[in-house]
Amino acid sequence: MRASKSSISILFATMVIVMIGFGIAIPLMPYYITHFQASGTALGLMMSLYSLMQFIFAPLWGQFSDRVGRKPVLLIGIAGYFIAFMLQGLSQNLFQFIAARILAGVLSSATLPTAMAFIADTTTPENRSKGVGMMGAAMGLGMIIGPVLGGLLTKIQLALPAGLSTLLQTTLDPSSGAVVNLSIPFFASALLALLALPFAYLLLPESLPPQARGHAARVNGSRLGALAAGLRGPAGFLFVMAFLLAFALANLESVLGLYGQSRFNLGPAEFGLLMGAMGALSVIMQGVLIGPITRRIGEENVLKSGLVVSMLGLIGLALAPLKGLMVAAALVFSTGNVLLQPSVTALISRRSDPRQQGAAMGLNNSFQSLGRGAGPLWAGAAFDIHPTLSFWSGALVQLIAFVFALRLLGRPVETPAAAQPGGQISPLH
């Protein structure tokens, strides 16, 4: 079954709405931490727990989508965003906020692997990078609009009755000294997720036909067993690569706001603009340039190039003496990261059984979640030691991944027998 271009367009629009809501919340995390008088280590712990939940539950959601279809699982993920955003906006202390983030990790992990599996269902192997790039562009578009909107929403002041006003968390903008509202952006994010639900329910078709469902029942097992099996398969080293890339990315995402706040007095609005610029770059790269670049030099060379560029961006962040240079280095890193994500995902998809694309994308998400879980724990603690230590460590990880890619990419691999007509094994390269 191949869905029409309109089906992919509907999925794209759905993910844009969801990711705008997700992006709205991004600039607020470091300011919530300082508002609740916590440290960089606490921020790292919060982000790690979110990623740990994704690590545990993403394969379950991926396999579940292989059994019941993509659409129901995607709707569960969107509803999860709504619930989690509301609870985060209503949080009155750090414990409640972290608990809401944990719930967000459990439910929202149904969204992205399922969307990627939808793309795998509805594209040919040759066009898969383009489809993955569209999802990356959707995420990037959300990261353009969302953080900028989130920064602006912090300036809204509501005149509520005394009993209700205590529900809203406020803090001071370090760049201007003005009062900023930390709760309103989360309520806006919840509203966007609520709007995305009927849109997806009414317009998004099911991409997995009934006769293709049920294969995931044969691969159920422990998460560690599934990870070990994935590492032994044709895409094994790519899962390790996904972990390393996510670890390095987490070193930037976890502490960039705190770094900008402590070193350059960056406020939520300014940080939102920076995240928006990084999102704009992502949209341009993934929506327009990644396809031609991949066709010209191949996914493997795109991956290697992305590792070098992102490493240079992290080094630039560690050395930047001025706010403008910090912004430039963050954009360089973002350029490299944009090259990395679709390449790794597409290579994993190509080296996985076509009948278990949901499980493969779930495993990919799990390894990335491991990286996003380990990365913030280290990055937060490293920030408390020295504000630039996490950037240096992230650059080192990118270097290790580059050496890893040089040694292993390009080796001939074989697709699973079940993936070939007549059960024959055919080399991918």
Task: Look at residue 292 in the predicted model and tell me its pLDDT.
Answer: 84
Q: Is residue 18 part of a domain?
A: yes
User: What is the domain range of residue 269?
Assistant: 5-206+223-410
Q: Is residue 416 part of a domain?
A: no
Which domain CATH number covers 369?
1.20.1250.20
Q: Is residue 328 part of a domain?
A: yes
Q: Is residue 153 part of a domain?
A: yes
- Could you give the 3-state DSSP secondary structure of residue 243? helix
Q: Is residue 386 part of a domain?
A: yes
Q: 89-98 — which CB contacts under 8 Å span 24+ positions?
A: 89/183, 89/184, 89/185, 89/186, 89/187, 89/189, 89/190, 90/167, 90/183, 91/169, 92/166, 92/167, 92/169, 93/36, 94/33, 94/36, 94/38, 94/42, 97/32, 97/36, 97/46, 98/45, 98/46, 98/49
Number of residues that this document lists for the chain? 429
Q: Is residue 420 part of a domain?
A: no
Alpha carbons 47 and 239: distance in angstroms, whole number: 21
In tens digits, what is the pLDDT along the chain, a chain of 429 residues?
A: 444 567 888 888 888 888 888 888 877 887 777 778 777 888 888 888 887 887 788 878 888 888 888 899 999 999 999 999 999 888 888 888 889 989 988 988 888 888 888 888 887 777 777 777 778 778 777 878 888 888 888 777 655 544 555 566 766 566 666 666 788 888 889 999 999 999 999 988 888 877 777 654 444 455 566 667 666 666 677 888 888 888 888 778 778 888 888 888 887 778 888 888 887 887 787 767 877 888 888 888 888 898 999 999 999 999 999 888 999 999 999 888 888 877 888 788 777 777 667 777 777 877 887 887 888 888 888 888 998 998 999 899 889 888 888 877 765 555 444 434 333 322 222
Q: Is residue 213 part of a domain?
A: no
Dihedral through CA 25, CA 369, CA 92, CA 19, nearest 10?
20
Count how many domains the chain has.
Answer: 1
- Cβ–Cβ contacts within 10 Å for residue 69, how many? 21
Q: Is residue 16 part of a domain?
A: yes
